[in-house]
Chain A
Amino acid sequence: MGATISLDYITHRFSRGAAPTLEKIENRIEPGEMVALIGRSGCGKSTLLHMLAGLLIPSEGCVRVNGHQVSRPSAKWNMMFQKASLYPWMSVRENAALGLLFSGMAKAEAFSRVDELLEMLGLHDKRDVNVQSLSGGQQQRVALARSLATDPEILLLDEPFSALDAFTRTALQEEVPAICRDLDITMVIVTHDIDEAIAMADRVMIMSQNPGRIVGELDVELPWPRRHMDAGFQSLRDQLMTQFKETDDGLAGRKAITETTDDDAENAA
C-alpha cells in the first residue's frame, strides 16, 4: 500500500528572478520506506515537504507518486505539522474523522473507523471531549489519528514533535514508525533533531542551504525498536553529525551561490 515517491529534478523559486530556494533535487523514496530530512533552518525542508503534499507546485520539475504527477493535495498523502491545528469547535472524534467526512463518508461509519484508531493511540476515553482540554501530546495524537484515518499511502511529518515534552516525544518517535511499518506507509519526516532522524528513519537525507539541495545521505540499518542508549545508535548519530558538519560549514552554501551566479552570467552571455 505504501507508495513510491520520486522527486524529478525539482527547482523552486518563490518569485521570478529570485535565487532558487530549492535546486535540482532528484531522489526516489521506495514504498514503505521511512526517510528523514535534516538541514539548517530555512534551507527549504518545509518547502519540499509541501510539494510532496501537493500544497505547493515546484516551478521546475515535479513530484511523482507511483508515477503520477502530484498537482493538488490529496488525503492519500497526508501531512502533519508542528502544531496539531485541531478544530476547537469539533470533538476529538469529529476532528479525527474529518478527512473521511470530506470524502463523503457517512458520519456513523467514519466514527466507527476513527474509534479504532483512537483506541490504538490511547485516546478512546477522550473521544467526546473538547480538543482544547487535551495536552499538547494528546492533541498531536489526535492529529495523527486524523492523518491515518484516510488510509494514507504517504505520511509527511513537518517537525511534528518539536513542541512536545521529552517523554511524549520519545514515545511518539517510537510509535509512529511502528504504525507506518504496520500499515506499510511511506513516511517522510522533517526534523532539526539528529537523534529523531536516527530513531525514526531508514535513511537520512541532508539538505544544504542557499540553494536547498540534497547533499548527503546516510542509511540507518538499526533494528526496531531503537533505543538511544544502544551503541549502534550512538555511533550512527556521531557519523551523521560529522557528515552534517562537513556538508554544512556555511562554505558549501556560499560556494553554491557563486556557482549559480556564474551559470547565470554564462546563460546571459
Chain B
Amino acid sequence: MSTQTTQALSGTSGAQVNLAPVISWLAALRYPAIGITTLLALWWLGGYVVANDPDMWAFANFAPAPTFSALYDLVASGDIWPTIVSSLYRVLIGLFWGVVIGVPVGVLIGYVGTAMKIANVPFQFLRMISPLAWMPIAVLAFATWDAAIIFLLVMATVWPIMFSTAHGVRRIDPNWFKVAKNLGASGPQMLRRIILPAIMTDVMAGIRLAVGVAWVVLVPAEYLGVTSGLGYAINDARDTLAYDTLAAIVLVIGLIGYGLDTICGLLIKRFNWHVE
C-alpha cells in the first residue's frame, strides 16, 4: 500500500501526470478487492473443511477450484447462455408488466388523495404477501409455466414500483404545477414535461428495488415445471449430483444480479436531477 502511495506521488510530480486518474481509479478499487479476496478465502476455507470432513467430503466440489473449472466449461461449451437468456427474458417481461401497471397506478394514487386513501390498506396488505405464495394460484390461472412464473415476477415487481412512483408524485413541489398551469400547460403537457421528469428518479429507484426482488424470486419460481432458466439449472445440477456446476450457477446468479443492480444504479444516476 505504501509503495502505491509513493508511486502516486512521484507520478503526479513527474512528467507523466496523465497516470493520476488511473492510479486514483485503482485506489478506489482496493477496498472492493479486499472484500472479494476475503469472500474467496472464506469460500476456499469452507471447501477445505468440507473436503476433510469424512461426513461431508461428497460435497467437496463446492470449493472454488472445481466451481471455477465448471464455470469455465459452462461458458466455453456455451451451455450457460440459453439458461441465462431464458431467465433474463422472464425477469424483463415481469419487470415490463410491473412498470406498465405500477407507474400509472402509482401516479394515480399519488396524485389523487382519495385514491391513495382507498388503495393504501389493500395494497400494503397485498405487498406483504410473498410473491411465491401466489404460486398455486398462478399455476391454476395460467396455461403455461412460463406465464405463471412471469405472473409471480409481476407480483414481485409491481409493489416497489407503484409505491416509489406514488411517493415521487406526492413529493412534487405544488408550485411546479401552479407555474406550469400559469404558463398554459395542457394536461398531457403537464404529464410529459412536469410530472414524468419530476418522478423519474423515484420510478428508477422503484425499478431498482423491483429488479432486486424479482431476481431473488426468480430462482425458486423456476423450480416450477419449466425446463430452462437458472433455477431449473440449479435443480438439475442437484439431481445429477453435479455440485461443481451447481456452485458455478450460484456464482452466475450472483454476478448477473450484481450486474443488473449496477445497470439500475447507472440509470438512476442518468435520470437523477438532484444536485449531489
Binding site for B on A (CB under 8 A): 53, 55, 73-75, 78-79, 81, 83, 85, 87-90, 98-99, 101-103, 130, 132-133, 146, 150
**Which residues of chain B in 39-94 are interfacial with respect to chain A, using CB atoms and an 8 Å cutoff?**
none
Contact of B239 with A by CB under 8 A: no
Instruction: State which of B182, B197, B273 has its C-beta within 8 Å of the C-beta of A78.
Output: B182
Docked complex Cα distance between A138 and B103 (Å): 35
The minimal Cβ–Cβ distance linking B273 to chain A, given in whole angstroms, is 4
CB A145 to nearest CB in B, in angstroms, measures 12
Q: Which residue of A lies closest to B271 (CB)?
A: A89
Residues of B within 8 A of A89 (CB): 197-198, 200, 273
Question: Is B193 in contact with A85, judged by CB distance below 8 angstroms?
Answer: no
Q: How far is the CB of A158 from chain B (nearest CB, A)?
A: 10
A-B contacts besides A75-B183, A150-B183, 12 pairs, CB < 8 Å: A53-B182, A73-B184, A74-B184, A75-B184, A85-B175, A87-B197, A89-B197, A89-B273, A98-B180, A101-B193, A102-B180, A130-B273
Inter-chain CA distance A132–B275, complex, in Å, is 7
B7 at the A interface (CB under 8 A): no
Smallest beta-carbon distance B201→chain A, Å: 9
B-to-A contact residues, CB < 8 Å: 173, 175-176, 178-186, 189, 193-194, 197-198, 200, 273-275
How many A-B Cβ pairs are below 8 Å?
59
* Of listed B178, B183, B186, B197, residue having the most chain A CB within 10 A: B183
| Cross-chain contact A98 with B183 (CB below 8 angstroms) | yes
**Given known contacts A83-B175, A102-B189, is B182 in contact with A55 (CB within 8 Å)?**
yes
How far is B178's CA from A2's CA once the two chains are assembled, in angstroms?
23
Given A87-B194, A89-B197, A89-B273, answer yes or no on A102-B175 (Cβ-Cβ < 8 Å). no
Provide 10 A-B residue pairs closer than 8 Å at the C-beta atoms, listed in order of the A residue: A75-B182, A75-B184, A85-B176, A90-B197, A99-B183, A102-B180, A102-B183, A102-B184, A130-B275, A146-B183
Complex: chain A residue closest to B181, CB-CB: A73
- Distance (whole angstroms) from the CB of A193 to the closest CB of chain B: 21
Question: Which residue on B lies nearest to A78, using beta carbons?
Answer: B182
* A81 and B174 alpha carbons, distance in the complex (Å): 12
| Chain A min CB distance to B71 (Å) | 43
Contacts of A79 in B (CB 8 A): 182
Q: Which of B173, B178, B186, B200 contacts A102 (CB 8 A)?
A: B186
Inter-chain CA distance A256–B122, complex, in Å, is 50
Q: Are B178 and A81 in contact (CB under 8 A)?
A: yes
CA distance in complex: A130, B186 (Å):
25
Known: A87-B197, A102-B189. A81 touches B183 (CB 8 A): no
In the assembled complex, the CB of A150 is this many whole angstroms from the nearest CB of chain B, namely: 7
Contacts of B189 in A (CB 8 A): 102
Q: A55 to chain B: which residues have CB within 8 Å?
A: 178, 181-182
Q: Which residue of A lies closest to B196 (CB)?
A: A89
Q: Do residues A88 and B273 form an inter-chain contact, with CB atoms below 8 A? A: yes
| A150–B186 alpha-carbon span in the complex (Å) | 16
On whether the beta carbons of A103 and B184 are closer than 8 Å, the reply is: yes
The chain B residue with its CB closest to the CB of A53 is B182
Least distance between A49 CB and chain B CB atoms (Å):
11
Give min CB distance, B98 to chain A, whole Å: 24
User: Across the two chains, which residue of chain A brings its CB closest to B275?
Assistant: A132
Residues of chain B contacted by A150 (CB below 8 angstroms): 183-184
Q: Which residues of B contact A98 (CB under 8 A)?
A: 180, 183, 193
Q: Which residues of A contact B185 (CB under 8 A)?
A: 102
Is the CB–CB distance between A81 and B175 below 8 Å?
A: yes
Q: How far does the Cβ of B185 sit from chain A's closest Cβ, in whole Å?
A: 5
**How far apart are the CA atoms of A99 and B194 in the complex, in Å?**
13
Q: What A residues does B183 contact at CB under 8 A?
A: 75, 78, 98-99, 102, 146, 150
CA distance A170 to B253 in the complex (A): 63
Closest to A82 in B: B175
A85 surroundings in chain B (CB, below 8 A): 173, 175-176, 178-179
CB distance from B177 to the nearest CB of A (A): 10
Q: Which of A81, A88, A103 contacts B274 (CB 8 A)?
A: A88
Tell me the minimal C-beta distance from B274 to chain A in angstroms.
7
- Closest chain-B Cβ to A159's Cβ sits at a distance in Å of 13
Q: Which of A81, A87, A133 has the most CB of B within 10 A?
A: A87
Which residues of the other chain, B, contact A74 by a CB distance below 8 angstroms?
Answer: 184
* Complex A-B, nearest 5 residue pairs according to Cβ-Cβ distance, in ascending order: A99-B183, A89-B273, A85-B175, A75-B184, A89-B197
Bound Cα distance from A103 to B189, whole angstroms: 10
Of the candidates B176, B184, B198, B275, which one forms a contact with A99 in the assembled complex, judged by CB atoms under 8 Å apart?
Answer: B184
**Residues in B whose Cβ lies below 8 Å from that of A90:** 197
Task: Report the separation of the CA atoms of residues A180 and B107 in the bound assembly, to the nearest whole angstrom.
Answer: 40
How far, in whole Å, are A73 and B180 apart by their CA atoms in the complex?
A: 10
Contacts of B176 in A (CB 8 A): 85, 87
Residues of A within 8 Å of B197, CB to CB, are: 87, 89-90
**B176: nearest residue on chain A (CB-CB)?**
A85
Q: Please give, as numbers and ranges, the residues of chain A lying within 8 Å of B182 by CB-CB distance.
A: 53, 55, 73, 75, 78-79
Cα separation A73 to B189 with both chains bound (whole Å): 15
